[in-house]
Every structure is written in C-alpha cells, then in structure tokens.
Structure 1
Amino acid sequence: MSTFDNVVAGRAAMDTAGATPGAIIARLERLPANAMQIRARVLIGAATFFDGFDVITIAATLPLLIHKWGLSPNQIGLLIASGAIGQLIGAFLFPALAEKHGRVKAIAWSSAVIGVTSIACGFAPTFEVFVLLRILQGLGLGGELPVAATYINEITRAHGRGRFVLLYEIVFPIGLLVSMALGAWLVPRFGWEIMYFVGGMPLVLALVLTHLVPESPRWLASRGRLPEAVQALGVFEASVKGPLPPPPVTQAAAFDEMVRQHPKRRMSDLFSAAYRKRTLAVATLWATCGFIQYGLSTWLPTIYKNFYHAPLQLALNLAVIGSVMGVLGSLASALLVDRLGRKPVIVWSFVLCALSLALAGVYHAASVYVVATFCALSLGLMASGFITAYVYTPEQYATSIRASGCGLGSAWLKIASFVAPMVVPHAIIGGDLSPAFYLLGVVPLIAAVTVHFVGIETKGKVLEALEA
C-alpha cells in the first residue's frame, strides 16, 4: 500500500461526498506551487535526468567501442540505432501502461528497465550482446519521458505551467551534459564500462517512487476513481503553506460541463479529424528532434576525432560544449515559453538551428573549433525547441489519451533516431561534411513551417479547455 493511501487531511475539502471530475480539476487549478509538486518534480526529474544520461552515454563511449570490437560503419550505425529500436517500442508500451495502470507506476517500471539493462551493458562480452541490451534498455528510455511529461503537466495549473514543466524537463539536457562531461573524464581513465554502471542508478529510484509521489489526480478522475483522486489531491493540498481559498463551485461546474462535452477518447482518435492537425504538428516536431539528436550529437565525438583528427580528450570536450549549449537553450525556453507562447519559441528555435547547421556546412573545411561552434549553437537552439515539446505535446490531447499522444510523438522521435544514423553518414561524400550539415539543416526548417501553419497556441489555458 502506498504511503499516500494513509494520508488523511483534516479539512472539509478532503470529503469525497459530491466529488466530480470538474471539482478535482477546479481544486488542482487553485493550487499554488507547493512542496509536493516540488518533490514530484525532483523525483520524476531524477528519472528523466538518467534517461538523458543513458541516452547520450553511447556518444561518450562509442570511440572506444569502435576500437574494442573493430566496428564497421554499418555496425556503428546499427549500434547507435539499436537503442532507438527499443525506444520506439517503449514509446507505445509504457504510455499504454500509464493509461491503464497509472502514470507513477509506469515511470517506476520504465526506470527499473533502464537501470537493470544499463548495468548489464557494462558486462556485455560481445558486440551482439551489447546491441541486444541496448534494444532492451531502449524500452525504458522510450517509455519514461512521455509518461513523465504527461504526469508533470497534469499536476500543474494552467498559470505558469510552461515554466514549471520546463524547469523540470531541463534535467534531461542536464543529463545529456553530465553524461558527456563525466564521460570525458571517466572514460579515458576507467574505460567505457563505468558509464553504464553509473547509468544503473534509476533502479534505486524505481524501488521508492510509488511510495514517495502521489498518482495524478487528473488521471484518477478520468478513470472514475474519484475517492482516490480526492485522496491524491489532498496530498498536494496538505503541502501548501497557508490556507487555501474555498473550492470554486462555479468553476467546478464549468469544468464538469467541459468533461461532459468531450467524449472519452481512444488511441485511434489521435488520427481523427479533431486531432489530425495537432498530431501532424507533434509528429514533425518530435521527428525533427530525433533526427538532429541522433544524426548530429551522437556522432560529434567521432566526427571531431576521425575527420578533424582531434585527440579523444579534445573530441569529448568539444562535444561537452554542445551539451552545455543544450542546457542554456533549454533554460532560455523555460523562461520565455509563458511569455512568448509555445509556437514562437519552437518556430524561431528551429529556424535559427537550421541557419547554424547551414553555416557549419559552409565552413566545414575550417578548423575543428569553428565547426564545433556552429554545431554547439545548433544543438542549443534545437534543445530550446525540443524541451518546449514536452509541455506543448501533452497540451494537445485529452487526459484519456494524453500519455498515448506523448508516446506517439516520442515514437516519431525514435523513428527519426533510427533513420538518422543510417542516413547522415551516406551524406558525407568523399570526406566532405557539408552535404550532411545541409541535410540536417533542412529538417528543422520543415518543422518550423509545419508548427507555424498547423500548430495551435496553448499558453495559459487549462488542459481540459484545450481538448478537441
């Protein structure tokens, strides 16, 4: 039994009599930032941190794995893409589990998969075993992020939701940064295995998460489990400093009317007329992020080392700069997304990312430092648009299909992640990197145009008011 099943708040608002989905939503929307939201953001953020850490670990260890097993270019592409294969499956599996069994349980289960398989990767005796383990690890990596983004969105009120969610999501690029920075220091000294042992930490989180974080009241209410929704909501309310205003009865009635007007959705509705344009915008957005992430960032240490003949330590350090820019771009997005809106942040981030990649192509024959500068800028700008997707995507869909919608977006990211490592090397013609950079630059430009013309603005709106 969860710790939160034993929490009893001595206030009338905890009474389940007369509880309705609209009343649950209204009480959530009146909540200021509170200690339990912060705890949830920290603990769920820890899971997301290690998701980012484990996703990019392959980039920090790839140069040594190439040497260890004498990998061919096709084997290198398969190794990078293997994680994406598992992530594609996980992007559907764990959101489906989250819709049926709850957000927090699905996050805990995915974290367990990530931790166990990461440790096992450190003991992999052959290339074939390593690839198999990366596929299995991908199940958890692909499933954790969309469910976590769904959960954090659902426990947050409309006012300031963008900033609250993105300040949580920033732990993902921080995980990327720490993985690259730690890899630059650990790998040359202790070997590639140590990175995968460190990446096993989510296993600890999986054991305690359901005891420390309450389930999403919105999800519980959508499933008709109103007493549990009231109890979970009471945990958040009990952590608020100072008195809360009375439950807004008229607002609750308005939310109940919204719930009645919108039928319960199924996964097939993601492709219905009501959601088709939203799903197109989401798919393009996530596919772009996957293509750039796996088509560029995971290759950077190898590109710097093999094409510009940079020593391993320098190649890793230059890749770390790209991760630093990713964190800065994510932070900028978190600060701007509630002021400017989701669409402007995404569109301009991707337009400028495309420009940076084009400049990398123009100056590809310059020194490694010039190319690394443009690559770092492009990764920072891509991260700004990418992290915004984690607040923008859950806002597109009804509670009953929110995790599935996020999973679908994540699946497009994984498909692109699988395709990019196979396609980008073939765009390198006779050692000329410029066609590869131009190819990479076209992708975010397409996404910017798509989001601009078919995406909706969601800033400052209650999730239920955004339902189609």
Structure 2
Amino acid sequence: MATTPINDWNVPPRTTRLVLFCCWLAILAEGYDVGVLGAVLPALAEYRAWDLSPLELGGLGAYALVGMLLGALFIGTLSDLFGRKKMLLLSMVIFTLTQAGAAVAPTPEIFGLFRLLGGLGMGGVIPVAAALTIEYSAPKKRSYNYGVMYSGYSLGIVAAALVALFLLPTIGWRWVIAFGALPVVLLPIIAKLLPESLDYLAAKGKRREADRLAARLGIAPYIPTVTAPTTGVTAAEPWWRTITAMFSPRYLRSTVFFWISLFCGMVLVYGLNTWLPSIMKSAGYDLGSSLTFLLVFSLASAAGGLALGRAADKYGQKLILVAFYLLGGGGILLLMFPGNMVVNLVFVAFAGIGSISTSLVLTGYIADYYPAKVRATATGWALSFARIGAICGPLIGGWIGSAALPFEWNFIIFAAIAVLAASAVALIPKRREAQPEPAVAGEETVGVTAN
C-alpha cells in the first residue's frame, strides 16, 4: 500500500478552519447545555415548589448523562455508517429543542425526561466533531486543533455561568435553561458550511462524490486514506467489524486504559461542573462568588485546552495528560482549605485545566489513535463508557451531601480520581506505526494521505 509522506498534507488551511468553526459552534451549544444545570443548581435547591433533596438534585444532573451515554454509543457508530454531517446536525436538533422543553417542565420528573432526551443529542456531538476535526487537521496540529475546537465546550459553560449571573436574580432559573435553545438558529449555517467526511465517503465507495467534494474544498491531489470497495456494494465490510476492531488484539489493551482514564476524567468534569458552586457555597462563599468559581473553572479550562493541545503536539499526548491530571488533582485537593479568594481561584483554575482540558486532549488522542474507518465509533464508545463516570460525578456530590459528610470529602474523592486517571493514561501502550490491513473480499487497497 502506497503511503503519502506526512509532509504532503494538502488540505488548505481555510478548509481546516471551516470545519473547526462549524464543530466549535456545535460544541459551544453543547457546553452551555451541559453547564447550565450546575449554574442553576443552587436555585433549584431553593425552589420550594419541587423541594428537592441533595441526592435528588444529583439525580437531575445524571438524567442528561444517561442520554449522553446512549447518544455517544449509537450516534458515533451511526456516523461511521451513514455520515458525520447528518449525525452532527441531528444531534444539535435534539439537544437544542429539548432545552426548551426542560425550561417549561412542570415537575422534576418531566424536567429529567427532557434532560434525558437532550442527552442523546449531546452525547452524539462530541465523537462526530472529534472525527471531523482529526480528519481535516494536519498530523502535527491535531491535538492543538482539537483543543481549539473543544474550547467551545468550556466557553459554553462560561456562557451558562454568565447568563445565570444576570438572569437568575431577576427572572429565574427557567429562562437560564431556555437560553440553551437559541443555538437552533445555527443549524442552517452549519448545514451550509460543514463538509462531509472524505474518509467516510471513500470508505463507502462514493469515490466520485468524494472527488467532487475534494475539488470544491481545494484538496488536490485527493488520495483516499481508507480502503474502498471495488464492487457496487456500499459497505466494504460487515457493520459489526466497525465495532469489533477496537477490541482486536492490536487495540484491546489501549481500549481498556483509554476507557478507564476517560471514565475518571468524566467523573471530574461533570462532578465539579454540577457541584462546584454548591460546594463553594457550603465552604462559606455567597452565591455570586460560588458562580465565579464555576466561571474561572471553565475559562481556565478553555485556555488550558489550547495550551495543552499545543504541548501535546510537541511533547506527546501521554506525557502531557499524566502531568496535568496530577496537577489538576493537586488543585482540587488544595481547595479543601478555604482561604484567600485569589489563591482559591488559582486552585480552581488548576482543577479546570486538570479535568476539562485534559479530558478534551484525551478525547482527541483517542480519535487520532484508531484507524480512520472506526475513528468515530472508537471515540463514541469510549465516551459512552465514560458517561457512566459522568453519571457518577453528580451522584458522588449528592451522596456526600445526603450523608452529611464534611464538604472537604468532595475534594479528597475528586483528587483521588484525578490520580487514577493519570495512572491509566500512563499504561496506554505506545501507538504502533500504521501498517497495511488485510483487504476483505471485493475490496482493493488504495493510497493514503497524511491522515
């Protein structure tokens, strides 16, 4: 199999920027929907019409995460089978419209149902956006570009905190949640601008369509990166091989440790996102200051994602991930000592970088690690398993509150989870050099680009 040298990457920068922009918009909208519950949780705790206990509040945080588990599992796989662009748009339709439903929910049960349904869309966005970003990024800039794209997630959480700061005291938590439905107006823009995955088209034998798209995007010469069928069938391999590839002897150990590390990362991201304002309020800060902690947590993670992405491209993903998961764990642990506001904000920044920033670099690492034809599936399944950790995060905080344990236990437990994440990343095997894979019947092997 001929291989195009890595320096021959020929995707125009404007095409890469276009894909990053569209995926960034989708992730920004998702970040708001993920962060909004943590922003309104203190108000929900005081909402007498529902009279929710701490454990019930944690349960509300878990509804969307159950949906995200299923969304990442199925939509990521479906995007490898039916197209990345379609699945990204479908995911956005689901999670934006269900936000409007949650905003008007008359009971916590109906609120949870809309959050569950919205989670299906939220879970689908990340593996699809990850695959598109990796496929349209030069190999030496993939981690950085992924950090740029995924900064929208943190900025979406920032937007949720800012909207809550302005709207909660005046018109209440329902309007803060309803604001998350506004990104539905972005759908026509993304539908027009976002190109389909060339890897997907080539894998499905749609060579003419791929050639036309490559020409429109200014990619010349275009050489597919994956095998393509020579017959009239639309799939070169049975659909189930897309799933089983990540459990093959070549990738099994990697899959196990990727899943463990991302599981721990999601516990940190969603546990801290959901409970940080409430935990800091328990530590003696007022509501405004508590929301400021969430704001700094998110802003630091957005900037940290860019810095960690560039560092990962230069020094390797594994080294950077291990170091910053440990740094994040240290920042989380030091928050158990309430003191000077500025110092604690610095510790919160470390916590944000060591949870959200590291997890986004880890997700990009996963998408880059596996072969193109199973990229979204591998990313989606890893994220789906990690959603169990995301579900556990809010429940851990709710359990600590219900058990009337000292608030310091939140920081001890979350710091220990950060150390476990670092240990799992350290055990991920070094990626093997790309090797030709045996062709199946009716299939021919074509050249690859730097992808």
**TM-score for the superposition, normalised by structure 1:** 0.83
Deviation at 1:294, TM superposition (A): 1.8
Structure-2 residue corresponding to 1:393: 366
Question: CA offsets per residue over residues 385-423 of structure 1, 9 Å max, x none?
Answer: 112123211112222221111111211221101112223
Deviation at 1:208, TM superposition (A): 4.2
Query: Residue 212 of structure 2: which of 222, 231, 244 is its match?
Result: 231
Change (3 A) 1:368 1:413: farther
Residues 1:434 and 2:434 aligned together: no
Asked if the contact 1:343–1:455 (Cα under 8 Å) also holds between the matched residues in 2, the reply is no
Deviation at 1:372, TM superposition (A): 5.0
CA distance in structure 2 between the partners assigned to 1:177 and 1:75 by the alignment: 25
Change (3 A) 1:348 1:381: same
Change (3 A) 1:256 1:102: closer
Change (3 A) 1:386 1:423: same
Asked if the contact 1:28–1:157 (Cα under 8 Å) also holds between the matched residues in 2, the reply is no
Residues 1:161 and 2:136 aligned together: no
Structure-1 residue corresponding to 2:442: none
CA distance in structure 1 between the partners assigned to 2:148 and 2:256 by the alignment: 26
Residues 1:377 and 2:350 aligned together: yes
Deviation at 1:461, TM superposition (A): 12
Asked if the contact 1:121–1:133 (Cα under 8 Å) also holds between the matched residues in 2, the reply is yes
Change (3 A) 1:235 1:461: farther
Greater mean deviation of Cα atoms: 366-375 or 322-331: 366-375
Query: Residue 50 of structure 1: which of 14, 29, 33 is its match?
Result: 29
CA distance in structure 2 between the partners assigned to 1:339 and 1:193 by the alignment: 45
Residues 1:412 and 2:385 aligned together: yes
**TM-score for the superposition, normalised by structure 2:** 0.86
Secondary structure of 2:139's partner? coil
Change (3 A) 1:311 1:465: same
CA distance in structure 1 between the partners assigned to 2:8 and 2:75 by the alignment: 27
* Aligned AA (2:68): Q
Deviation at 1:49, TM superposition (A): 0.6
Task: Please list every run of 5 or more consecutive structure 1 residues that lacks an aligned counterpart in the other structure.
Answer: 1-20, 239-243
CA distance in structure 1 between the partners assigned to 2:297 and 2:433 by the alignment: 29
Structure-2 residue corresponding to 1:62: 41
Structure-2 residue corresponding to 1:272: 248
Query: Residue 334 of structure 1: which of 292, 297, 309 is its match?
Result: 309
Asked if the contact 2:8–2:449 (Cα under 8 Å) also holds between the matched residues in 1, the reply is no
Question: CA offsets per residue over residues 187-212 of structure 1, 9 Å max, x none?
Answer: 22221122222211332233443332
Greater mean deviation of Cα atoms: 352-361 or 408-417: 352-361
Structure-2 residue corresponding to 1:350: 325
CA distance in structure 2 between the partners assigned to 1:205 and 1:319 by the alignment: 26
Identity level (%)? 24
Change (3 A) 1:446 1:268: same
CA distance in structure 2 between the partners assigned to 1:268 and 1:450 by the alignment: 22
Question: CA offsets per residue over residues 440-460 of structure 1, 9 Å max, x none?
Answer: 111121221221122435999
How many residues matched?
431
CA distance in structure 1 between the partners assigned to 2:119 and 2:28 by the alignment: 15
Question: CA offsets per residue over residues 358-386 of structure 1, 9 Å max, x none?
Answer: 3234x25x567655542332122223311
Structure-2 residue corresponding to 1:6: none
Deviation at 1:426, TM superposition (A): 3.3
Question: CA offsets per residue over residues 173-228 of structure 1, 9 Å max, x none?
Answer: 11122221222222222211222222113322334433322211111111111111
Asked if the contact 1:346–1:384 (Cα under 8 Å) also holds between the matched residues in 2, the reply is no
CA distance in structure 1 between the partners assigned to 2:242 and 2:17 by the alignment: 31
CA distance in structure 2 between the partners assigned to 1:458 and 1:299 by the alignment: 40
Residues 1:86 and 2:76 aligned together: no
Change (3 A) 1:417 1:192: same
Asked if the contact 1:322–1:376 (Cα under 8 Å) also holds between the matched residues in 2, the reply is yes
Asked if the contact 2:7–2:450 (Cα under 8 Å) also holds between the matched residues in 1, the reply is no
**1:188-337 → structure 2 map (5 Å cutoff):** 188-237=169-218, 247=221, 265-305=241-281, 307-337=282-312
Secondary structure of 1:224's partner? coil
* Aligned AA (1:398): P
Secondary structure of 1:418's partner? helix
Change (3 A) 1:57 1:22: farther
* Aligned AA (2:270): Y
Asked if the contact 1:155–1:218 (Cα under 8 Å) also holds between the matched residues in 2, the reply is no
